[in-house]
Structure 1
Amino acid sequence: MSSAVYPSLKGRHVVVTGGASGIGGAMVAAFAAQGARVAFLDILEDESEALAEAHAGAAYPPVFHRCDLTDLDAVAATFAGLDPVDVLINNAANDDRHSLAEITPEYWDDRIAVNLRHFLFCAQAVAPGMKAAGGGAIINFGSISWHLGLSDLVLYETAKAGIEGMTRALARELGPDGIRVTAVVPGNVKTPRQLRWYTPEEEAEIVSQQCLKNRLEPDHVAALVLFLASDDGRMCTGHEYWVDAGWR
């Protein structure tokens, strides 16, 4: 199946957080294929180096920056060392399972730092450059999980609900500067990490509840992100865009 080419993405500076693998890795590959200048942030060094090597032949090979996004000093230093950013993809997150009884104040702080806090500070870091350039795109990753109320994910779902609220607030604040802020809400995407949580029977049950009876793949999500990042999506802001095969 052929995919769309977006001329407006050629040469754009795109930053993907959590870009080493899964959906993040698919987005790094997709933007590199569009001729964008891609930088990706992660703490997984082996996976990141392998991804960069796999796309070394791109017009602009993706560049890996090791950055612990829970360390806000490291976040600030990383963005200070980058060229002005045209497109920010706030993707990094961790959906470790947990029960209510297991949550401590320390675990609360850690999960919010992993799943929510860096979205705001990465957006804060790129906004001045986008304003100076006359616009840009920030795409935040939500999750279907809190819309469905899935079990054993209360802190993850709290963070993901907050991301959708943050998206609307930032879209209103940054819109006058031509900066678009959207959220992508994936369904259950077939990645190695998700296969840790679901048996083949549970996967089949999810597919049975979707309108479209195929498994979602990372490339399906990347295709939506490319559109929202491109000039074709220039009037899209302040809302969530779903790619869930009609599960919800």
Structure 2
Amino acid sequence: MSHSSDTYLPSSSSSSTTTAAGSQGLSRFPSLRGRSVFITGGGSGIGAAIVAAFAEQGARVAFVDVAREASEALAQQLADAGMERPWWRTCDVRDIGALQACIAEAAAELGDFSVLVNNVASDDRHTLESVTPAYYDERMAINERPAFFAIQSVVPGMRKLGGGSVVNLGSTGWQGKGTGYPCYAIAKSSVNGLTRGLAKTLGQDRIRINTVSPGWVMTERQIKLWLDAAGEEEIARNQCLPDKLRPHDIARMVLFLASDDGAMCTAQEFKVDAGWV
């Protein structure tokens, strides 16, 4: 079981020029340099692209993931590329106490977090008939609860800093009435409620909170499990842009919202889906 958004694709799979750790040619956000950032599910997939993107900006990055080997490989890859090695721990986010302990430990080492990225997710397929109460609770424990309690953990530090940015990873899948994952759809649809429900409260302390909802991102897991001839036709039919979405495309939007350039953006959903119709 993976708690991150699939496996991060190395540079050879991207349609743009990239380094081993992430993408070249990204805008530079000076406001992110030296800031502490915490990312859930950062060891692989979209999360790993976000970790790499912040590292490239000179941020002090911390992340958690259940994928130990992938997480260590990513951290070493970034260090070998001359970036500051991310702080990371193995953590099952279903254990809220463990998640909050990791956040506290990382903050003690890196400083209070200016940025939180709630990325962790698992889109395992299931049918309506197969779902038991235990399975339902387990899906929510991965896809819904961690975001709320991670926010609860970082907000006191953001208040001390005078502000911050929370970026919640949503999904366009449920909005397009995607099938095969009703529990995932329920959890991901709640992300917009979490964002809007906290925006006024957090905004009083200049803490911004937004949702980034990816379209069909071509991670290794998606390509391996779901991308077939029919999927290729679906992309060609539904995307306005012809290029496939890659993890670093999502990271670019996250960087903007985390930076001072997004200073007046809050309570919003930003879709990165190549114009899916």
**Shorter-chain TM-score: which interval?**
over 0.9
Q: Aligned letter for 1:90?
A: N
Q: Aligned letter for 2:99?
A: V
Aligned residue runs from structure 1 range 149-228, under 5 A: 149-195=177-223, 196-228=225-257
TM value normalised by structure 2: 0.87
Counterpart for residue 14 of structure 1: 37
CA–CA distance in structure 2, aligned partners of residues 152 and 201 of structure 1: 16
How big is the shift at 1:174?
0.5
Structure 1 unaligned spans of 5+: none
2:84 match: secondary structure: coil
Counterpart for residue 119 of structure 1: 147
CA–CA distance in structure 2, aligned partners of residues 207 and 89 of structure 1: 30
Aligned residue runs from structure 1 range 1-248, under 5 A: 2-56=25-79, 57-83=81-107, 84-195=112-223, 196-248=225-277
The answer to whether the 8 A contact 1:35-1:58 is kept is no
How big is the shift at 1:58?
3.7
How big is the shift at 1:185?
0.5
How big is the shift at 1:60?
2.0
The answer to whether the 8 A contact 2:34-2:60 is kept is yes
How big is the shift at 1:245?
0.3
The answer to whether the 8 A contact 1:25-1:51 is kept is yes
Q: Aligned letter for 1:16?
A: I
Identity %, equivalent residues: 48
Deviations 1:149-202 (A, max 9, x none): 111111100000111100101111100011000000000000011111221441
Q: Aligned letter for 1:9?
A: L
CA-based RMSD of the aligned residues comes to 1.1
The answer to whether the 8 A contact 1:32-1:58 is kept is no
Deviations 1:127-169 (A, max 9, x none): 0000111000000000001101111111100000111100101
Q: Give aligned pairs, total.
A: 248
How big is the shift at 1:81?
0.9
Structure 2 unaligned spans of 5+: 1-16, 18-24
